[in-house]
Amino acid sequence: MSEQQRPGAQTDAPVFSPRKNGQAQSVSDELAAWMSTGWADTELRDLKPVEQAGHTARRRAALSAAFPGERLVVPAGQLLTRSNDTEYPFRAATAYAYLTGDTSDGGCLVFSPDSDGGHDVVLYLKPRSNRENGEFWLGGYGELWTGRRHSLDEAAALLGVPTADVTGLTEALRSDAVTTRIVRGHDAALDALVDGLRADADEDSRAGSARLDEELAVTLDDHRLVKDEWEVAQLQLAVDATVRGFEDVVRALPQAKDTSERFVEGTFFLRARVEGNDVGYGTIAASGANATTLHWTRNDGPVREGDLLLLDAGVETTTLYTADVTRTMPVSGTFTDLQRKVYDLVFAAQEAGIAAVAPGRPFTAFHEASQRVLAEGLVEWGLLEGPVERVLELGLQRRYTLHGTGHMLGMDVHDCAVSRQEVHLYGDLEPGMVLTVEPGLYFQPDDLTVPEELRGIGVRIEDDVLVTEEGRTVMSAGLPRSSADVEAWLAERLPR
Ligand code: GLY
Ligand code: MN
Ligand code: MN
């Protein structure tokens, strides 16, 4: 249906899309008056808070305590233009969703210092669309175009935080002179507004402001390092949906062979959209030599019998927690001897890495354990000249393994990336941390240092591991890891 088909609309604007640039559309007075009336009251009352409201309250209290007397601005982010008047799918900024439980666009959480050394915390949100001035159906962001939003009262009840109309945000931020920090990079207008408030006159002062924002980002990532019980449950939901997505892919392998890696990507995406919000990162569906490209997301290559398929994919929940899992599987259902040899070395490296995940162990331990196994294997195969200690010291194995063995996992796939090095990269593991263990070997198709038969083989095995009081739990244990188990799993699922 187009607008001009509506009763009473004038016919001088023969376009379907609304104007998003603020130009009013031509509408008769009669239609405008008629559209503003006759709508039922749909306000939802007596709403119960969402499950995570207690957790978000505690997180806000922790952040408040870290920055007494200062204003903190945490934007959700804005829609990003894809082309003309269409936008990319929206994904709320991690810190915003972590502190509010909200995932809608255009909002902003503001901590304003109160007289007791704490903060008044207000969530500024888009309110329901105005029905008096026609914005709800004429503006391109009105609710009849984009869907009903929660009223401010509904959002306050659901999220357990006071709400206010986002149109009052600028004035609120300008209302008093107080040290202000913002989570930058999500809302250009708010970044600019805060810059304007600071009015830094010289380089030193600008550097000081940059430090303020950086400290806020670092603190938020520090706070997110250890997951609470609710977060662990969300991550398990993400992983479980991901396991089902991998099984979908196996059942769809015949169609992938008839088409391309895109069929693998699309099959997994269906699962991600049905069970979650999206994929947590671009799916890597890499068959044959494409598996030697670490972040192969073009996914436009063929899927051939006899090749390995490396699938690195994760479902992101509607609450924005993502899995990050890789399996490398023979398309035919059976590894060749050479593929198995490579696979089994990567598996041994992963076993050693997972065994090194435990509370109190350094974060670097699992990486070192995996790299040692890879280096030993590569020396034994004659690809690297020993001794192993020399290889490890010089990092020579990296020619064939390229990347680190894992990373923190949570709302971001590479989670808590700016947390303090002393508590993360050079810190010790603690119960509640979740990380990936993902060794790999990649023999490039044009690498003359390896025997020809190895060229074009890429293998990665990636699991999501929770640090527990006792040791660890492999959250993605629903998928097979050893070569024999992968084959048995394929045999049960591959269509005959
Ligand atoms: N999927 C990207 C990674 O494994 O880190
Ligand atoms: Mn991955
Ligand atoms: Mn990963």
Q: Does position 10 have pLDDT exceeding 80, yes or no?
A: no
Nearest CA among 342, 330, 340 for reference residue 491: 330
Label residue 376 by pLDDT band (50, 70, 90): very high
487 lines ligand 1 (CB under 6 A): no
464 lines ligand 1 (CB under 6 A): no
Nearest CA among 305, 138, 154, 321 for reference residue 229: 321
What the block records as the tokens of 183 is 């989570």
Phi-psi group of 466: left, alpha or beta (phi > 0 → left; psi -120 to 50 → alpha; rest → beta): beta
Residue pLDDT, tens place only, 162-204: 999 999 999 999 988 899 999 999 999 999 999 999 988 999 9
Residue pair 147/105 in contact (Cβ under 8 Å)? The answer is: no
Three-class SS of residue 368?
helix
Q: Are residues 284 and 160 in the same domain?
A: no
Q: Given the CA of residue 462, which atom of ligand 1 is nearest to it?
A: 4
Q: Are residues 259 and 177 in the same domain?
A: no
Residue 242 falls within a domain, yes or no?
yes
Q: Are residues 187 and 258 in the same domain?
A: no
Q: Are residues 217 and 234 in the same domain?
A: no
Residue pLDDT, tens place only, 88-146: 999 999 999 999 999 999 999 999 999 999 999 999 999 999 998 899 998 778 999 99
- Tell me the best of 283, 409, 434, 436 to mutate to test the pocket of ligand 1, counting ligand atoms within 8 Å of each CB and taking the most: 436
Q: What separation in Å is there between the alpha carbon of 156 and the centre of ligand 3? A: 36
Nearest CA among 336, 375, 339, 369 for reference residue 354: 369
State which residues form the domain around 438. Answer: 229-493
Three-class SS of residue 304?
coil
Nearest CA among 303, 325, 219, 312 for reference residue 258: 303
Residue 38 falls within a domain, yes or no?
no
Q: Are residues 196 and 331 in the same domain?
A: no
Q: Are residues 292 and 360 in the same domain?
A: yes
Burial class (CB in 10 A: 0-12, 13-18, 19+), 470: exposed
Query: What's the structural domain count of the chain?
Result: 2
Q: Are residues 212 and 240 in the same domain?
A: no
Q: Are residues 267 and 200 in the same domain?
A: no
Label residue 9 by pLDDT band (50, 70, 90): very low
Supply the pLDDT for residue 176.
83
Give the residue from 173, 196, 224 where a domain finishes. 224
Supply the pLDDT for residue 88.
97
Listed in sequence order, the residues at least 6 apart from 474 whose beta carbon sits closer than 8 Å to its beta carbon are 354, 463, 464, 465
| Full 3-state SS string of 179-213 | CEEECCCCCHHHHHHHHHHHCCCCHHHHHHHHHHH
Q: Are residues 186 and 317 in the same domain?
A: no
Q: What separation in Å is there between the alpha carbon of 409 and the centre of ligand 3? A: 8
Q: Cis ω on the peptide bond leading into residue 387 (within 30° of 0)?
A: yes
Residue 39 falls within a domain, yes or no?
no
Q: What separation in Å is there between the alpha carbon of 437 and the centre of ligand 3? A: 8
What b/e sequence results for 76-90 when a residue is b if at least 16 CB atoms lie within 10 Å of its CB, and e otherwise? bbbeeeeeeeebeee
Residues flanking ion ligand 2, Cβ below 5 Å: 312, 324, 462
Residue pLDDT, tens place only, 451-484: 999 999 999 999 999 999 999 999 999 999 999 9
462 lines ligand 1 (CB under 6 A): yes
Residue pair 414/403 in contact (Cβ under 8 Å)? The answer is: no
**CA–CA separation, 292 vs 401, rounded Å?**
10
The ligand placed nearest to the CA atom of residue 435 is 3
Q: Does position 423 have pLDDT exceeding 90, yes or no?
A: yes
Residue 6 falls within a domain, yes or no?
no
Supply the pLDDT for residue 431.
98
* Residue percentage of the chain with pLDDT more than 70: 95
438 lines ligand 1 (CB under 6 A): yes
Mean per-residue pLDDT of the chain: 94
Q: Are residues 400 and 363 in the same domain?
A: yes
Residue 19 falls within a domain, yes or no?
no
Identity of the residue numbered 70: E
Residue ID of nearest Cα to ligand 1 atom 4 = 324
Residue 188 falls within a domain, yes or no?
yes
| Domain of residue 301, CATH code | 3.90.230.10
CA angle, 42 as apex, 40 and 45 as ends, to 5°?
A: 140
Supply the pLDDT for residue 8.
36
Cα–Cα distances in Å, from 480 out to 47, 374, 477? 42, 20, 7
Residue 138 falls within a domain, yes or no?
no
Angle formed by the axes of helices 229-251 and 261-275, to 10°?
A: 140
Query: How many residues in total does the chain contain?
Result: 496
**CA–CA separation, 297 vs 283, rounded Å?**
6
312 lines ligand 1 (CB under 6 A): yes
Residue 16 falls within a domain, yes or no?
no
- Tell me the best of 284, 294, 401 to mutate to test the pocket of ligand 1, counting ligand atoms within 8 Å of each CB and taking the most: 284
141 lines ligand 1 (CB under 6 A): no
Q: Does position 5 have pLDDT exceeding 50, yes or no?
A: no
**CA–CA separation, 286 vs 312, rounded Å?**
8
What the block records as the tokens of 363 is 């974060």
**CA–CA separation, 139 vs 127, rounded Å?**
14
Q: Does position 340 have pLDDT exceeding 50, yes or no?
A: yes
**CA–CA separation, 343 vs 357, rounded Å?**
21
Q: Are residues 390 and 329 in the same domain?
A: yes
**CA–CA separation, 98 vs 59, rounded Å?**
8
Q: Are residues 75 and 155 in the same domain?
A: yes
Q: Given the CA of residue 314, which atom of ligand 1 is nearest to it?
A: 1
Supply the pLDDT for residue 190.
98
What the block records as the tokens of 40 is 């039922």
* Residue percentage of the chain with pLDDT more than 90: 91
| Domain of residue 89, CATH code | 3.40.350.10
Residue pLDDT, tens place only, 209-220: 999 999 999 999
- Tell me the best of 312, 316, 416 to mutate to test the pocket of ligand 1, counting ligand atoms within 8 Å of each CB and taking the most: 312
Q: What is the pTM of this model?
A: 0.95
Sequential DSSP letters for 75-102: E-----EEETTEEPPP---HHHHHHH--
Q: What separation in Å is there between the alpha carbon of 403 and the centre of ligand 3? A: 10
Give the residue from 224, 251, 279 where a domain finishes. 224
Give the residue from 178, 198, 224 where a domain finishes. 224
**CA–CA separation, 6 vs 229, rounded Å?**
51
Q: Given the CA of residue 326, which atom of ligand 1 is nearest to it?
A: 4
